[in-house]
Amino acid sequence: MKRNYILWLAAGLVVALAVFGLWSMRSRAYSADNQLEAGYQKAFYNLIENVNNVNVLLSKALVTSSNGQRIMVLTSVWHEAEKARSNLSSLPLGTRDMTNTQKFFAQMGDFSRTLAEKIAQGQTITQREWNILKQFKKNTQSLNQYLRELSDDVARGRVKWEKGSFASGMSRRIGEVMADKFVAIDQRLKEEAPTIAYDGPFSDHVENIEPKAITGSAITEEEAVERGKKFIENPQNIKYDVSVTAKTRGVIAAYTLSFKRSGSDDVDIVMDISRRGGHVLWFLNSRDVKEQQIDVETAVEKAEKFIETRGYENMEATGSLRENNVITVTFAYKQGDVLIYPDFVKVKVALDNGEVVGFDALGYLTNHTERTIPEFKISQEEVEKKFEGRLTVSRIRKVIIPDDAKKETYCYEVDGKLDGERYLVYINALNGREEEILKVVETDRGTMTM
């Protein structure tokens, strides 16, 4: 009898522990769900607050007569727009495409920052720029209204972000309704938001830039294969089977080529070659690179010879970086005595045998053209005087540098040291304004700028 009692007690304890464990698991799951729900709710309401703040700030920017106040307000618009992008990204939208909304926030924020910088430099906002600001204000008013309508559904409990997640494979009925509303908002912004060109990385003219060095007629797949074979280095005379594996679109339409050793399924080399003109955009040889057998100087000479024999003339090496016994050498085009940084090519050289195992000419093919270089208004002597007592200058040269908007600026590049640390300072050659400062860091891998 006593033994049966002990058995029943033990069984009861096991059941109780199992029930407690199940309850504990469900409790933790419920708690986790609540935490997710709270995070999504927070991101959603923060997004609404960001849009409302931007609308108010844009109103102030349009009304104020103080340049100092306008700079502060426009900078705040930029910060709020970046917060809105972050909060939008935190919502469980799954595979829903919100590209237009993200682009809207990015352009509005960056355009506001650009105007703030313009005012700070003593320049005047044009009527066209005022009109763009007014359009952004109108767009944010509409967006604010759309989001407020969505918030009513959330506030009434019609939608729980976690259970009605828009992510695929989860509960769809309620989530689909909200997802469609977000997509509708995104499409409205695409139709209503202005197309703008300005000096910033999110400008529409930057996205739609036309490659300047892609010339010639359309080529066939067979012609692309033949050009690809001739372009690579193959010191070991490996027999490759080369085929077109994809046709890529984008700024430069291209054929993607795959190089395989005969009888192997492994791809050794991948290359993109433009469908117009047959220009090699880039290639990469993924072979294993063994121990170093050649020095860096020899590798740079091999890289120079490689691009010369492939039609890239008047190129000057501007830097190198070493990684895993491969050195990447960057070259920039030189027109007369002006070094043109946007027209750059990168070449990877294996340090075991000097073979070129990588090449990238996208920068060059996008930007290269013969420029009409204006007369520099500032003399080299005037530039040097700017740094007397501050920087020990070792070299000054004429260069063209790009900004975020792909706009080119004619500068003097001042290479100098302060307290043993090296810097590159770029002085606008037309107005004497300081455009950029880079700190040069020498490492065992090569030279880097910060």
> How many whole angstroms separate alpha carbon 357 and alpha carbon 147?
52
Q: How confident is the model at residue 418 (pLDDT cuts 50, 70, 90)?
A: very high
* Rounded Cα–Cα distance for residues 283 and 346 (Å): 11
In the predicted structure, residue 387 carries a pLDDT above the cut 50: yes
**Portion of the chain with pLDDT greater than 90, in percent:** 38
Q: 43-52, 227-236, 313-322: which range is least confident on average? A: 43-52
Three-class SS state of 392: strand
Tell me the average pLDDT across 274-298: 93
Token pair recorded at residue 366: 């996008």
What are the φ and ψ backbone dihedral angles of 222, each rounded to 5 degrees?
-65, -40
Residue 58 pLDDT > 60, yes or no? yes
Residue 325 to residues 22, 300, 305, 318, 444: CA-CA distances in angstroms? 56, 13, 20, 20, 12
Report residue 163's pLDDT band, with 50, 70 and 90 as the boundaries.
very low
Task: Identify whether the C-beta of residue 434 lies closer than 8 Å to the C-beta of residue 414.
Answer: no
pLDDT for the residue 168: 36
- State the SS3 of the chain: CHHHHHHHHHHHHHHHHHHHHHHHHHHHHHHHHHHHHHHHHHHHHHHHHHHHHHHHHHHHHHHCCCHHHHHHHHHHHHHHHHHHHHHHHHCCCCCCCCHHHHHHHHHHHHHHHHHHHHHHCCCCCCHHHHHHHHHHHHHHHHHHHHHHHHHHHHHCCCCCCCCCCCCCCCCCHHHHHHHHHHHHHHHHHHHHCCCCCCCCCCCHHHHCCCCCCCCCCECCHHHHHHHHHHHCCCCCCCCEEEEEEEEECCCCCEEEEEEEECCCCCEEEEEEEECECCCEEEEEECCCCCCCCCCHHHHHHHHHHHHHCCCCCCEEEEEEEEECCEEEEEEEEEECCEEEEEEEEEEEEECCCCCEEEEECHHHHHHCCCCCCCCCCCCHHHHHHHCCCCCEEEEEEEEEEECCCCCEEEEEEEEEEECCEEEEEEEECCCCCEEEEEEEEEECCEEEEC
Q: What is the pLDDT of residue 370?
A: 94
- In angstroms, how far is the first alpha carbon of the chain from the final one? 83
Pairing state between β 392-402 and 408-418:
antiparallel
Does residue 59 have a pLDDT over 70?
Answer: yes
Averaged confidence pLDDT in the chain: 81
For the ranges 2-6, 39-43, 231-235, 249-253, the maximum mean pLDDT occurs at 231-235
Please give the biggest Cα pair distance in the chain: 110
Query: Identity (one letter) of the amino acid at 224?
Result: A
Neighbours of 218 (CB within 10 A): 11
Is pLDDT at 192 greater than 70 in this prediction? no
Amino acid in position 195: T
pLDDT per residue as tens digits for the range 198-241: 444 444 444 557 899 999 999 999 999 999 999 999 988 899 99
> Is the model more confident about 68 or about 348?
348
The predicted pLDDT at position 407 comes to: 80
Please report the pLDDT score of residue 4 as a whole number: 55
Q: Please tell me the class of the 380-449 domain.
A: alpha beta
- Could you tell me which residue, 329 or 446, shows the higher pLDDT? 329
How far from the centroid of its chain's Cα atoms is residue 360's Cα?
17
Residues of the chain with CATH 3.10.450: 380-449
Look up residue 42 and give its DSSP letter: H
Distance (Å, whole) CA 33 – CA 252: 46
Give the Cα separation of 376 and 431 in Å (integer): 9
Please write the tens of the pLDDT for every residue from 79-135: 888 888 888 877 766 556 677 888 888 888 888 888 888 888 778 888 988 888 888
Q: Are 112 and 199 in contact (CB under 8 A)?
A: no
pLDDT for the residue numbered 172: 41
Residue 359 half-sphere exposure, CB side, CA atoms within 13 Å?
26
The two tokens of residue 114 are 């650009």
Strands 280-285 and 356-360: antiparallel
Lowest-pLDDT choice from 28-32, 289-293, 302-306: 28-32
* pLDDT on residue 159: 53
Residue 121 near residue 149 (C-beta atoms within 8 A): no
